[in-house]
Chains A and B, each alone.
Chain A
Amino acid sequence: MKTTQTQRLFDRIESIRLANVTKKYDDRFAVDDLNLEIKGGELLILIGQSGSGKTTTLRMINRLIELDEGHITINGQDIMGFDPVKLRRNIGYVIQNIGLFPHMDIHDNIGLVPKLEGWSEGEISGRVEHLLDFVALPHETFINRYPRQLSGGQQQRVGLARALAMDPPLLLMDEPFGALDPLLRRQLQDEFVRIKHEIGRTIVFVTHDIDEAFKLGDRIGIMDGGKLVQVGTPEELILAPENELVASIVDADKKFKHMDTLRVKDMLSHLDDKYIFESGMGVDQALDRMAVNNVEIGIVCDGSGLAGQVEMADLLRSRDEGKTLEDIAESSIVFSPHDSVAMALGELKDRGRSVAIVMENERPFGLFFSDEVLLKLI
């Protein structure tokens, strides 16, 4: 659609590295020796109280704030080597107060940087129309309106469209939904989850709302007093918080709140060999083996893979009948490690079972016990 090729500093983000980054205001460390690697394509959340340094960190990436010590590199190139204006035109930027220019209509607001980059009017209009439709604002209706004629949510969508105008491979978002009322915030978050994949950019996102962080983030970095305390996936933070602060921020003592976030792989029991039984094994022999290993359930495998499961109680009923496990194995409930814990527990309950087999790549990977999950959650 656009034919003018603006000179790009980077076409895609391989990685962004912050190494020993420090920013001081007088004697106070706003950001203190921060090390962080942001992977290309991920949405990394920075979360913390106000004054924790999260916004300062974000602003150092597009050089709105110049760091005092350390280095920030994008794809291995130090950002201090770039012209700041050029750097910022390669990075989309969205802030809480949106900051649409009141004297420009929506077309001019979104098309401002493309215009400064010398795009033709036709190219700009095409891009603006495309972006407005992308953020669910019909362009026929909105393109000639002024910001004051738009609601807060609509303005925020235009803010996002403007950030995407130059098709930047990196987006910086500073509490973009912070000023909206809770209902609208939730709605825009849902939409953002949807378009996140379509955008397919690397995104660094600052928030103080942990629910938002869990909803949107691939990884979450927790900041406090200018330091990065812990960075990890939501599961890692909930299940292995580094300290009290992280635990309290992620509400680790109320893990059940995070059932939607948790995956089966976070809650499974390791599949020891003692659980695995050959399908041709006799019932009596299997009972002996269970007794020795102190287990009450067996995963029955044949040459081609999973054949089902047996429980000790069933084996006892069938003893001395000369049967093999193959004859009495029941089909198993199977989950993938990536299924959500909430869904898995629901299915177990519906089918009146207490255990499921977790398979990965067609091989048994672990066991998922409903009562054990509940114990881990409380």
Chain B
Amino acid sequence: MVAILYNIMDVWDTHLLTLRTFEHLYMFSIALFIATIIGISLGIFIYSRPGLANPVLNILNIVETIPDIALLVLLLPFFGLGAGPTIVASILYSILPIARNTYTGLKDVDHEYIYIAEGIGLSPKEILYRVRIPMSLPLIAGGVRIALVFTMGVVTLGGLIAAGGLGTALQTGIYLYEIDTILVAGIWTGILAVILDGFAGIAEKKITARFGSW
């Protein structure tokens, strides 16, 4: 037992896993933050221009079907190696679930509420900001949560193109066939993902309790 713990500490120190974890979370946070802003904005945009909704969502769907390794490679000519293309790839993957959920949420708010909002004298803009967006928050949160999982995956893959993060330790372990390293880095990455998703789940529940319709 103590030996195992010692092994873990050894791997952790050798591969700078504390630093790698910070790098990992750094890329993850930036990617998810930007993806959320772009995704929600795009969702609102295509909601307000319904003609664009299908083309835009189709394009995002195509991006989504590109395998992640291929996407990283495709981005190399533009962004070089490292964290840049990894973050961009994460964002590209994450926009779809957020934008699609935002769009669906805005569009599918129970018509009864829109109707009474009009009836008591809200302008279309006020209906969007006071009724549609707040009432879509549970669905938007669901989209962000899906994006979170995508982002975790892509950021880990970033180790392939020298992005840093936990993926780097994992890659090293694979190249050198160090089972200990693979296990420690792999399990830790998995635990991290589960913890983050757990927090996201709690946040989503809170938002649903506050803004969901009953």
Contact = CB atoms under 8 A, between A and B. Distances in A.
A95 B214 contact: no
Given A99-B112, A101-B113, A102-B214, A113 B120 contact: yes
B112 A97 contact: yes
A93 interface: yes
Interface string B33-61: 00000000000000000000000000000
Contacts of A86: 121
A90 B121 CA distance: 8
Contacts of A98: 116
A163 B117 CA distance: 11
Contacts of B112: 97, 99
A103 B210 contact: yes
A82 B98 CA distance: 39
Contacts of B135: 101-103
B212 A95 contact: no
Contacts of A1: none
Interface size class of B (residues with CB under 8 A): 20 to 34
A188 B120 CA distance: 22
Contacts of B213: 102
A265 B117 CA distance: 45
A10 B211 CA distance: 36
Interface size class of A (residues with CB under 8 A): 20 to 34
A101 B214 contact: no
Interface string A53-95: 0000000001010000000000000000000011111110101
A89 B121 contact: yes
Contact of A64 (B113, B118, B131, B137): B118
Nearest to B119: A93
Given A85-B123, A88-B121, A116-B122, A102 B212 contact: yes
Contacts of B116: 93, 95, 98-99
A95 B119 contact: yes
B206 interface: no
Most chain B beta-carbon contacts within 10 A, residue among A62, A86, A88, A162:
A88
Given A102-B212, A102-B214, A103-B210, A112 B120 contact: yes
Contacts, number: 59
A91 B120 CA distance: 8
A127 B188 CA distance: 56
B115 A148 contact: no
A116 B118 contact: no
Given A116-B126, A148-B214, A101 B131 contact: yes
Contacts of A89: 120-121
A87 B120 CA distance: 9
A103 B134 contact: yes
Most chain A beta-carbon contacts within 10 A, residue among B112, B120, B137:
B120
Given A64-B115, A95-B116, A103 B121 contact: no
A62 B119 contact: yes
A9 to B, nearest CB: 11
Nearest to A159: B116
B214 A88 contact: no
A163 B121 CA distance: 10
A99 B121 contact: no
B119 A88 contact: yes
B210 A64 contact: no
B43 to A, nearest CB: 18
Contacts of B126: 116
A85 B121 CA distance: 5
Contacts of A103: 134-135, 137, 210-211
A112 B126 CA distance: 10
A88 B212 contact: no
A356 B161 CA distance: 105
Contacts of A93: 116, 119-120
Contacts of A91: 121
Nearest to A165: B120
Nearest to A86: B121
A302 B150 CA distance: 101
A114 to B, nearest CB: 11
Contacts of B130: 101, 112, 116
A87 to B, nearest CB: 8
Interface in B98-150: 112-113, 115-123, 126, 130-131, 134-135, 137
18 contacts: A64-B115, A64-B119, A88-B118, A90-B121, A91-B121, A95-B116, A98-B116, A99-B112, A99-B116, A101-B130, A101-B131, A102-B211, A102-B213, A102-B214, A103-B134, A103-B210, A112-B130, A113-B121
Interface of B: 112-113, 115-123, 126, 130-131, 134-135, 137, 210-214
Given A88-B118, A113-B121, 19 more contacts: A64-B115, A87-B121, A88-B120, A89-B120, A90-B121, A91-B121, A93-B119, A95-B115, A102-B211, A103-B134, A103-B135, A103-B137, A103-B210, A112-B130, A113-B122, A116-B126, A147-B214, A148-B214, A166-B121
Pairs A-B, 4 closest by C-beta atoms: A99-B116, A88-B121, A89-B121, A93-B119
